[in-house]
Amino acid sequence: MNSRREFFKWAGVAGAVSAAAVSRPSLAALPEPMTQSSAATMPPLTTEDKQTYQPVVTLNGWTLPWRYQNGVKEFHLVAEPVVRELAPGMKARLWGYNGQSPGPTIEVVEGDRVRVFVTNRLPEPTSVHWHGQRLPNGMDGVSGLTQTSIQPGKTFVYEFVARRPGTFMYHPHADEMTQMAMGMMGMWITHPKQAHPLISDVQRDFCFLMNAYDIDPGSYTPNIMTMLDFNLWTWNSRVFPGIDSLNVRLNDRVRIRIGNLTMTNHPIHLHGHEFQVTGTDGGPLPLSARWSEVTTDIAVGQMRQIEFVADEPGDWAFHCHKSHHTMNAMGHKLPTMIGVDQADLVQKIQRLIPDYMAMGQNGMEDMVDMEMPMPDNTLPMMTGQGPFGGLGMGGMFSVLKVRADQPHGDYRDPGWYPHPPGSVAHEYHGELTSPTQAPDSATQAAAVEVQIRKPGGGHQGH
């Protein structure tokens, strides 16, 4: 393993961490903890040495730099309270690691010996469980079972060899209900050491975790007692339109690694392309176990790795298919008002409450453009502007942007897709004809009945 000092850089955009900031503390006993407060997607973390792998890009997140210490890759995670912008207009007080929830992605190579220092700056004990890893039992991070928990102010050391390549997660195994409801989690990627028959080379490799919060409108801290009725369905603690788009070059092979640490399953759906699930927490799938899908369900505590060739240019929706999960904070206890004439009612109520507006008479699409007075620190339920108007989406929704002119390795947002002339659905302006009535079932049954023949007999009309 390379023993010389490593330097890091984030290529492609401003805001890169200076190499000196990383290398300076290399003589100290502990790697200096690095923090990141921006919710922007950071470009891949690359090293000056020839990298044998395509580094991942964490959606609205970043990869934690490490240092080499006598052939061991050393990381320093700091569990601490953080403020996370869920989308412009709403911030949440969460718990996370190194300035963010989720914490930074840890990215290593199969066979690496990894040492992770974990400092607890939370007001209660914690631990870190390395979900999916092969490791010595005592490094598994289960408070009370495999270790004493990390008390506030203390630092623990975990050390093991990243034995198998794949997509993993980390999260506390101490007061999980509170700590995961508060956003404590992160991803771990182990790249294969050499060419692997079941792991493809890709040009883009994205990852994110799905999480969920219950934050009352106007407040900042999640309700940790909520078991199922969350009101913010997030990817890496972001909701649309705060989730960055996944920007790729036409014909790139794209891998997206998704983990689910919410309390329900999420059928993840991609438009315009078919993908294959190429791996789970258990590792790469045999070729014989793969088939094409446009939606794959990801259960609680699972990882799924999907892959496809991005060969259709455009702005393709990419989202959870549970329609309530592509919305932001809302009251679920509203009655269905579709078809109810509220005209009279509105006048009467407005005598008492001048600002009252009727809602839902023709469905909930009104919500897209409705400018209701809202409490501070609350997002509209359905929002986001596209090139053709309001999208009416929130929550677990993003866009895969496929462009022929996206430079290799460039993750910047190319803007909206310039559709070729004549390729957009549009209003029909020709002549309208009345629909022809299809025969109803009674007519069809009669038509069939008069044709019944019985053996030896003639027509048997009824």
Q: Which span sits near Cu ion by CB under 5 A: 60-68, 76-84, 319-327, 363-371?
A: 319-327
CB nearer to Cu ion: pick between 257 and 325: 325
CB nearer to Cu ion: pick between 93 and 322: 322
Question: What is the closest distance, in whole angstroms, from the C-beta atom of residue 230 to Cu ion in the complex?
Answer: 10
Question: What is the closest distance, in whole angstroms, from the C-beta atom of residue 183 to Cu ion in the complex?
Answer: 17
Question: What is the closest distance, in whole angstroms, from the C-beta atom of residue 299 to Cu ion in the complex?
Answer: 11
Q: Exactly one of 59, 202, 212, 320 binds Cu ion (CB under 5 A); which one?
A: 320
Question: What is the closest distance, in whole angstroms, from the C-beta atom of residue 96 to Cu ion in the complex?
Answer: 21
Q: Which span sits near Cu ion by CB under 5 A: 263-271, 332-340, 341-349, 377-385?
A: 263-271
401 touches Cu ion by CB under 5 A: no
CA 58 – CA 42 distance, rounded (Å):
7
CB 172 within 8 A of CB 147: no
Q: Exactly one of 322, 359, 368, 410 binds Cu ion (CB under 5 A); which one?
A: 322
**In the Cβ-directed half-sphere of 191, how many Cα atoms lie within 13 Å?**
19
Q: Which span sits near Cu ion by CB under 5 A: 130-138, 149-157, 262-270, 289-297?
A: 262-270
CB 214 within 8 A of CB 292: no
Cα 74 to Cα 5, 78, 171, 389, 461: the distances in Å are 12, 13, 18, 48, 87
CB 121 within 8 A of CB 152: yes
266 touches Cu ion by CB under 5 A: yes
Question: What is the closest distance, in whole angstroms, from the C-beta atom of residue 59 to Cu ion in the complex?
Answer: 16
Question: What is the closest distance, in whole angstroms, from the C-beta atom of residue 233 to Cu ion in the complex?
Answer: 6
Question: What is the closest distance, in whole angstroms, from the C-beta atom of residue 383 to Cu ion in the complex?
Answer: 18
Within positions 323 to 382, which residues make up the interface with Cu ion, using CB under 5 A?
Answer: 325
CB 400 within 8 A of CB 382: no
Number of residues that bind Cu ion (CB under 5 A): 4
Within positions 93 to 152, which residues make up the interface with Cu ion, using CB under 5 A?
Answer: none
CB nearer to Cu ion: pick between 233 and 275: 233
What is the pairing mode between strands 253-260 and 303-309?
A: antiparallel
Q: Which span sits near Cu ion by CB under 5 A: 129-137, 265-273, 354-362, 414-422?
A: 265-273
| CA terminus-to-terminus distance, the chain | 89
- The values of phi and psi at residue 235, to 5°, are -110, 120
Question: What is the closest distance, in whole angstroms, from the C-beta atom of residue 316 to Cu ion in the complex?
Answer: 18
Question: What is the closest distance, in whole angstroms, from the C-beta atom of residue 295 to Cu ion in the complex?
Answer: 11
CA torsion sign for 149, 150, 151, 157 is positive
CA 44 – CA 32 distance, rounded (Å):
20
Burial 216-253 (b: 16+ CB within 10 A, else e): ebeeeebeeebeeebbbbbbbbbbbbbbbbbbbbeebb
CB nearer to Cu ion: pick between 22 and 185: 185
Burial 135-174 (b: 16+ CB within 10 A, else e): beeebbbebeebbebbeeeeebebebbbebbbbbbbbbbb
Q: Which span sits near Cu ion by CB under 5 A: 41-49, 143-151, 264-272, 361-369?
A: 264-272
Within positions 210 to 239, which residues make up the interface with Cu ion, using CB under 5 A?
Answer: none
Question: What is the closest distance, in whole angstroms, from the C-beta atom of residue 260 to Cu ion in the complex?
Answer: 9
Question: What is the closest distance, in whole angstroms, from the C-beta atom of residue 310 to Cu ion in the complex?
Answer: 23
Within positions 58 to 97, which residues make up the interface with Cu ion, using CB under 5 A?
Answer: none
- Residue 121 zone, left/alpha/beta (φ > 0; ψ -120 to 50; rest): alpha
Task: State both tokens at 342.
Answer: 């509220």
CB nearer to Cu ion: pick between 113 and 322: 322
304 touches Cu ion by CB under 5 A: no
If residue 443 lies in a helix (H) or strand (E), which one and from where to where? helix 441-449
Q: Which span sits near Cu ion by CB under 5 A: 71-79, 290-298, 318-326, 444-452?
A: 318-326
What is the pairing mode between strands 232-235 and 166-171?
A: unpaired
Residue showing tokens 């339920």: 381
Q: Which span sits near Cu ion by CB under 5 A: 85-93, 188-196, 259-267, 441-449?
A: 259-267
Q: Which span sits near Cu ion by CB under 5 A: 158-166, 299-307, 321-329, 385-393?
A: 321-329
CB nearer to Cu ion: pick between 58 and 260: 260
**In the Cβ-directed half-sphere of 148, how many Cα atoms lie within 13 Å?**
5
Instruction: Give the binding site for Cu ion (CB under 5 A).
Output: 266, 320, 322, 325
